[in-house]
Structure 1
Amino acid sequence: MGKYSHIRTLILDRGLAQPETLLEPVAAPRSWLELAHAPRYVDQVLSCTVPASIAREIGFEVTEQVARRARLASAGTVLAARLAMDCGVACNAAGGSHHARYDSGAGFCVFNDVAVAARLLLAEGMVSRVLVIDLDVHQGDGTALLCADEPRIRTVSMHAERNYPARKQLSSLDFDLPDGLGDSAYLDVLGRVLPQTLAGFEPDIVFYNAGVDPHASDRLGRLCLSDHGLRQRDHAVFAFYRQRQIPVVSVMGGGYGFDAMAVAERHLITFEVAAEFT
């Protein structure tokens, strides 16, 4: 969890933003969360009465602090999406909780912020079609499930085939990668994937899960990207969609290690690349 405070410090120290230009969201209301999640589960989280069986799936107890953070992360993705619609690119310094499902959290994820934001923008009429491209090392199984019944949302996941979750779900497009894939091979696959994300589909906004767990040093990853490889990946994604005038909102996604600052430095790459397109 320490990576989140570190990324804020790094963003300010590297001059990517000033304190007054870092926007802070108000916690997402219940009505937003219930666009993607079961009312009963939302109530369990907000009242901190999540059953022990669900808490085990999430990986930690849902306390008042955890519940507040989950609401803020979801609201942050909504805020970033609205900003991206105006500015072309915006980043949430959290989010990417792509394992959370309709009536349960999982894999360190409480609320699925991208599913919440996508469904809210559609409900408000801000957009007509939404693309989610998930390049976290783990499949975006929760997002796939939560959006499966909504033809206006296309979900794309490019992930390590043998990594968590053991039981994969069906995204609109899934690309399974073998263990140990390095920069060159990974970027070659990505170059073929990006055009497919738009085949027969014209999104009004793109949600980009920029998890850094494909990094070679990640504690929970099975791929072998370098810092340079992550930078090339991010640049390819932002460039592809911005060249087509499609707004992009990025969320942090996964990144795991015993050195929280080192993980935050990897996440900073996404913010640095995003700044090139603002």
Structure 2
Amino acid sequence: MIKIAYHRIYAHPLPEGHRFPMLKYELIPEQLLHEGIITPDNLFEPEPISEDIVLWTHQHDYWMQLRDLTLPAKEQRRIGFPLNAQLLERELRITRGTIDGAKFALGAGVAFNVAGGTHHSGSNWGEGFCMLNDQAIASNYLLNNKLSKSILIIDLDVHQGNGTAEIFRNEPRVFTFSMHGDKNFPFRKEQSDLDVPLNDGVEDEEYIDLLSYHLQVAFQKSNPDFVFYLSGVDVLSTDKLGKISLTKVACKERDRMVIQACKTKGLPLQISMGGGYSANIRDIVDAHCNTYKVAFDLYH
């Protein structure tokens, strides 16, 4: 059975101005249940991860400041919202959802986290609404528990996975692939193993052609036995922050290409949702739900 990490704590601890884009964490499972794509049995609510797992990826001093709620105000502004205990618990649960999803994927082939994709968090910083890097932590969990020997992280959020790139820049067992807006946040990029910077305004055909080529390159260079996919929908033309001009059809085809490649190669796949900031919440929810629909079609 395909499992989806979900927890109702995701939305409520956020400051008022950040609650609109976070509504998707509630609406995506509701929509999938409404359409009959999933049943409640597909959903699971993760517990927080433990400190020792965090410290496999993030530096001790940074984690202590998060844990003790003593992160300097300047660093909290870099994250994008003031630190509090509920937000930290939210992040710890999101990360456990990605770890547990990865373990479920080892059996079922694919698993989801309705949140996650916190790829701007580096080893000793938070940034861009990301405090702990869920897929990086989950990657180290798999490696340290000998559940994987070679990991590919495919990051197709419109923003570069700078934190993920920094964390794994000296780790040959993890190959980082980021296809992102060149002139978009973060404006100081890190070096992934494979970066594909995109010009503003890229449309469907060019995007799909670039992905088709570079996806093959990423698989060839990494030879993975496990794949993480960050499927941000801020590549949509309706997105307020993305500067890329994809239709929902192309966004769904992007997902199909990644998921089909993993299924064909017999590679377990964990998917975290990443960004999405369209003015109409329906555009965000529809595009994210398409990712689930592709996977459920392929794995049923």
Same fold by TM-score greater than 0.5: yes
User: Residue 102 of structure 2 contacts residue 270 of structure 2 at CA under 8 Å; is this kept in 1?
Assistant: yes
**Alpha-carbon shift at residue 20 of structure 1 (Å):** 3.0
Aligned equivalent of 1:52: 73
* Alignment counterpart, residue 36 of structure 1, candidates 57, 65, 71: 57
Q: Which amino acid aligns with 2:111?
A: A
Could you tell me which residue of structure 2 aligns to residue 120 of structure 1?
141
Shift of 1:264: 2.0
Q: Which has the higher contact order (CA 8 A, sep 6+)?
A: 1
| Distance in structure 2 (CA, Å) of the matches to 1:65 and 1:74 | 14
Contact 2:27 2:285 in 1 (8 A): yes
CA-CA distance at 1:70 after TM superposition: 0.4
Match of 1:222 among 243, 263, 274: 243
1:143-182 aligned within 5 A: 143-182=164-203
Shift of 1:12: 1.4
Query: What RMSD, in angstroms, separates the aligned Cα atoms of the two structures?
Result: 1.1
Q: Supply the AA of the counterpart residue of 2:51.
A: R
Structure 2 Cα separation of the partners of residues 15 and 50 of structure 1: 43
Q: Which residue of 2 aligns with 1:256?
A: 277
Identify the match of residue 213 of structure 2 among 192, 213, 217.
192
Aligned-pair identity (%): 37
- Which deviates more from structure 2 when the two are superposed, residues 31-40 or residues 104-113? 31-40
* Deviations, residues 44-103 of structure 1 (Å, cap 9, x unaligned): 222322211111110001111110110011111101111111111111111000000111
State how far apart, in whole Å, the 2-side matches of 1:76 and 1:3 are.
16
Among 92, 112, 131, which residue is 1:110 paired with?
Answer: 131
CA offsets 1:181-233 (integer angstroms, 9 cap, x no match): 11111001011011101224321110000000000001110100011011100
Aligned partner letter, 2:58: H
Structure-1 separation of matches of 2:70 and 2:34: 39
The answer on whether the counterparts of 1:74 and 1:111 sit within 8 Å (CA) in structure 2 is yes
Runs (4+) of structure 1 exceeding 4 A deviation are none
Say if 1:6 and 1:261, in contact at 8 Å, map to a contact too: no
1:14-42 residue CA offsets vs partner (Å, 9 max, x unmatched): 22221233111111111111111112222
Indicate if the aligned counterparts of 2:155 and 2:179 stay in contact, CA closer than 8 A: yes
TM-score (norm 1): 0.97
Structure 2: distance between partners of 1:261 and 1:39: 40
In structure 1, distance between residues paired with 2:117 and 2:149:
22
Query: Quick one: distance in 2 between partners of 1:95 and 1:141?
Result: 15
User: With structure 2 as the length reference, what TM-score do the two structures score?
Assistant: 0.90
Match of 1:206 among 211, 214, 227: 227
User: What pairs with 1:229-244 in structure 2 (closer than 5 Å)?
Assistant: 229-244=250-265
Q: What 5-or-longer segments of structure 1 have no aligned partner?
A: none
Count of matched residue positions in the alignment of Structure 1 and Structure 2: 278
Who is 2:163 aligned against?
142
* In structure 1, distance between residues paired with 2:118 and 2:159: 11
Q: Kindly indicate whether the alpha-carbon contact (under 8 Å) linking 1:36 and 1:115 is maintained by their aligned counterparts in 2.
A: yes
- Structure 1 counterpart of 2:93, from 63, 72, 85: 72
Partner SS for 1:276: helix
Quote how far apart the aligned CAs of 1:248 are: 1.2
Equivalent in the alignment of 1:130: 151
How many Å separate the matches in 2 of 1:20 and 1:199?
A: 36
Aligned counterpart, 2:204: 183
Deviating more after overlay: 12-21 vs 74-83: 12-21
Q: Distance in 2 between matches of 1:103 and 1:160?
A: 24
Verify the 8 A CA contact 1:141 1:170 in the aligned structure 2.
yes
- Gapped regions of structure 2 (runs ≥ 5): 1-21
Does the 8 Å CA contact 1:6/1:260 hold for their aligned counterparts?
Answer: no
CA distance in 1, matches of 2:285, 2:68: 31
Query: 2:295 — aligned with what?
Result: 274
What residue number does 2:84 align with?
63
